[in-house]
Chains A and B, each alone.
Chain A
Amino acid sequence: MSFLFFGRKRSANSAKERLQLVLIHDRTDLTPAELDSLKDDLIETISRHIEIDPTAVTINVAQDGRSQRLVADIPLRSVGRRRGRF
């Protein structure tokens, strides 16, 4: 089915995308701002133990049926690059 019609997205798609976000927040009681602050805390904690690239960290709430899961992708800085700096 065409997603575009006169250059505008069909309204059912907007409805689904908007609902996906709303339901995650309704179910987890977690606002985007709280998620950001969680991300900052996570970066700070992990950085104390291992060197990571803070700008590449992503954190999302993924849906798995009716349960949600917090998915964090935290790329590590390679040991080789770290040594190269000395």
Chain B
Amino acid sequence: MTAKVVTIASGKGGVGKTTSVANIAVALASRGQKVTCIDGDIGLRNLDVILGLENRIVYDLVDVIEGRCRLRQAMIRDKRLPELYLIPAAQTRDKTSVSPSDMVRLCDELGQEVDWIIIDSPAGIERGFKNAIAAANRVVVMTNPEVSAVRDADRVIGLLDAEEKGPAALVINRLDPVMVKRGDMLSVEDVLDLLAVELIGIIPEDENVIVASNRGQPLALDGKSKAGLAFQNIARRLMGEQVPFMDLESQNLFQRLLGRK
């Protein structure tokens, strides 16, 4: 078995990388796939709390790389899904404790055991980002429909091309169809015109994302919310299925009737 290694990157922080890693991993695992996600944000770990696994950490990524434990010991098994694992980041170390070749070696070994390795890249384009993309077969770039996030996504897409890790697949997160309709938010088409990359997901703004993170229960576990469904669709597209993009505007008819601006 050789796993597909997918890294989620964005350049800018706060666009939703960690939430997406958690949800894409959950969505893949709920489809019977064996998945391990790796938190690449050494020093600022968060994937554990988003997944609700923060109380079960014994060993972390740096422990594996520095040989203090076996790979299996650092893989925390998610009890809600049979084949979902997390390798958490070290919290008291920094990005230089891992090198790109360490990541390649780790993913080679891990890839013998699972179908998917999903890596959460830290923000920025320095060492942590380089570590996160080193072993990737595919990089998903996240952006929000805002000038700063789109600009940083463009930088990351350009760097991925230069490192021969492209072409990147794009996820547009936190899209508000009402604001787009009003002309006060970049539309999906605008962002695609600007970035000229393949689109793999559109995630609507959804307050359930915060509720889910409060509880440590990723949305894609039930898949009833719009955002949860959007993450399920991304997982299906990663698996090679052709899935049409959701019609977000018609789903907002109710909100429009309520007179939400």
Contact = CB atoms under 8 A, between A and B. Distances in A.
Interface in B165-207: 180, 182-187, 190, 193-197
A74 B216 CA distance: 62
A48 interface: no
Interface residues of A, number: 20
Interface of B: 146-147, 150-151, 154-155, 157-158, 161, 180, 182-187, 190, 193-197
A49 to B, nearest CB: 36
Counting chain B CB atoms within 10 Å of each CB, the highest count among A10, A20, A63, A66 belongs to A66
Interface of A: 1-3, 5, 10-13, 15-16, 18-20, 22-23, 26-27, 63, 65-66
Contacts, number: 51
A28 B187 CA distance: 25
A23 B150 CA distance: 9
A26 B186 contact: no
4 closest residue pairs by CB, A with B: A10-B183, A65-B196, A66-B196, A11-B184
A18 B197 contact: no
A27 B154 contact: yes
Contacts of B151: 19, 22-23, 26
A57 to B, nearest CB: 28
